[in-house]
Amino acid sequence: MSDDATVVPVDPETTPDALIERFGRDLVNDFDLDDPAFNEKFDETLNFMVRKCPVVHSKVGRGYYLINTQDDVRAAAQNWQTFSSAKGYMPNRPEGLPYLMPEESDPPIHTRWRAKLNPHLSPKTVATYEQAVRDDVNELIDRFIDRGSCEFISEFGALLPGWAFFKNVLGLPIDDLAMLVNGVEEGTFHPDLSERARHFAEVFGYLENHLKWRATQPSRGDLIDTILAGVTYDDGTESPWEHKVSILVDLTFGGIATTTFVMGSAIHHLATHSDQRELLIGDPSLIENAIEEYARFFPPVVGLGRTTTRDVEVSGTTIKEGEFVILTYACASRDPRHMEEPEKIDVRREGIPHSTFGVGPHRCIGSNLARVELTATLEEWLKRIPEFRVKAGTEPTYVTGYLRSMRTLQLEW
């Protein structure tokens, strides 16, 4: 048998015993995004999977696959005919949660909405918000700079993305931001799935009310009015009210639930690497590239899901029709087949082929805005607080599922 070409040699690192010993579970056959061990060994697990496990399976709930290499993720993300978004992006989706457009739809419905929404978040449009975002960065820093310390997440990172999006794009009041941030966070990470549904329902209710109110107001020609105007689908029907509400919910989820993690992680990295602070302070023109590298290495979206519309083979594994498949963007961004030393942070990399903002037609619509927020944050922070460190005796805390989030980061200077 040994010369039979179909026998693949067993890799001692990926046997169930070796995996259980190292990661606490057989992550090839029984992965769990919500396992606290994944949260703790986040980098090690991603680096390992992208090298050794192109496809892994989970038995949790209704079960799901993860596909992990950059080539497979790109091919699947671009092939929406086989990997459909119409059945949702969350593994073990809470019952009764309405689908979120545009994320949980396929072309051509998806295309109609993106065509209308894109101009509101294009590079040209978000460039006009840059000064306002910069002013907000400084206003937040003013609140704590003289104190010589801050809890970065609650006092800055969880606020700036909401301020930037609500004030400039949605025209929503920022007073209710804390409630929405909490609703999205609990809706994503709560260990009890029915609790997730309850928190999401709260966010839906709030945003639907806002949309109803705006429908009674004169048009401002903004993103909300574009949503209210709706689109015509290819079959001639007009987009229903529920689709409009879900667009606003999806945008709000994206707008407040992700950028914080890149911000917090970048600031944490700089707090713990004085040479990197000096590098960026000495040459601020590196900051834009640094943000790409931080986004690559600190992905708030671990992966988002698709449902297969036919049997399909991915790196030698056959995935049946109707299976839930996660495109692990976080692994794809560390693929050693596409970059040198992916497990190292190097802000001078030339050309950073990362997948943090997704791939394919669902490419993050907020990516241009997120980049403005991140650039303004690092530029202003390093000017005003060039020396800072993690508060002695503390460490940042994290929570991970299909998203990753930083809960606390204590800083002092």
Partner 1 sequence: MKVHIDEIKCSGHGRCAKYAPEVFRLSDDDGYNADRGQTIDVPAAEEKNAAIGIRSCPERAITVVAE
Binding site for ligand HEM (CB under 6 A): 85, 89, 102-103, 114, 161, 165, 250-251, 254-255, 258-259, 262, 295, 300-301, 304, 329, 356-358, 362, 364-366, 369-370
Position of tokens 């879900």?
246
Query: Between 302 and 331, how does the x/- string for binding to partner 1 read (CB under 8 A)?
Result: ------------------------------
For 195, the token pair is 């609790």
Position of tokens 């992966």?
303
Nearest to 49 by CA among 339, 330, 261, 350: 330
Min. distance of Cβ 349 from partner 1 in angstroms? 10
Position of tokens 């903004």?
222
Kindly tell me which of 123 and 205 has the beta carbon lying closer to partner 1. Answer: 123
Does 405 interact with partner 1 (rule: CB under 8 A)? Answer: no
Contacts of 50 (CB under 8 A, 6+ apart): 68, 69, 70, 328, 331, 332, 334, 335, 336, 342
Q: Do 275 and 387 form a contact (C-beta atoms < 8 A)?
A: no
Kindly tell me which of 316 and 351 has the beta carbon lying closer to partner 1. Answer: 351
Kindly tell me which of 303 and 396 has the beta carbon lying closer to ligand HEM. Answer: 303
Kindly tell me which of 26 and 293 has the beta carbon lying closer to partner 1. Answer: 293
Distance CA 172, CA 181 (A): 14
Does 288 interact with partner 1 (rule: CB under 8 A)? Answer: yes
Query: Interface with partner 1 by CB under 8 A: which range of 112-120, 182-190, 201-209, 266-274?
Result: 112-120
Q: Do 152 and 264 form a contact (C-beta atoms < 8 A)?
A: yes
Please identify which residue in 108, 119, 148, 173 interacts with partner 1, judged by CB under 8 A. Answer: 119
Q: From the list ligand HEM, partner 1, none, which binds 370 (C-beta under 5 to 8 Å, kind-based)?
A: ligand HEM
Please identify which residue in 177, 227, 345, 352 interacts with partner 1, judged by CB under 8 A. Answer: 352
Min. distance of Cβ 87 from partner 1 in angstroms? 21
Q: Do 210 and 172 form a contact (C-beta atoms < 8 A)?
A: yes
Distance of CA 156 to the CA centre of its chain: 18
Q: From the list partner 1, ligand HEM, none, which binds 254 (C-beta under 5 to 8 Å, kind-based)?
A: ligand HEM
Q: From the list ligand HEM, partner 1, none, which binds 291 (C-beta under 5 to 8 Å, kind-based)?
A: none
Q: From the list partner 1, ligand HEM, none, which binds 304 (C-beta under 5 to 8 Å, kind-based)?
A: ligand HEM
Does 346 interact with partner 1 (rule: CB under 8 A)? Answer: no
Nearest to 268 by CA among 159, 152, 174, 374: 152
Nearest to 109 by CA among 277, 7, 233, 1: 233
Min. distance of Cβ 223 from partner 1 in angstroms? 14
Furthest-apart CA pair in the chain: how many Å?
A: 77
For 149, the token pair is 């310390």
Q: From the list partner 1, ligand HEM, none, which binds 127 (C-beta under 5 to 8 Å, kind-based)?
A: none
Distance of CA 73 to the CA centre of its chain: 15
Distance CA 139, CA 135 (A): 6
Q: Do 277 and 378 form a contact (C-beta atoms < 8 A)?
A: no
Residues at the interface with partner 1 (CB under 8 A)? 74, 78, 115, 118-119, 121-124, 288, 292, 350-355, 357, 359-361, 363, 367-368
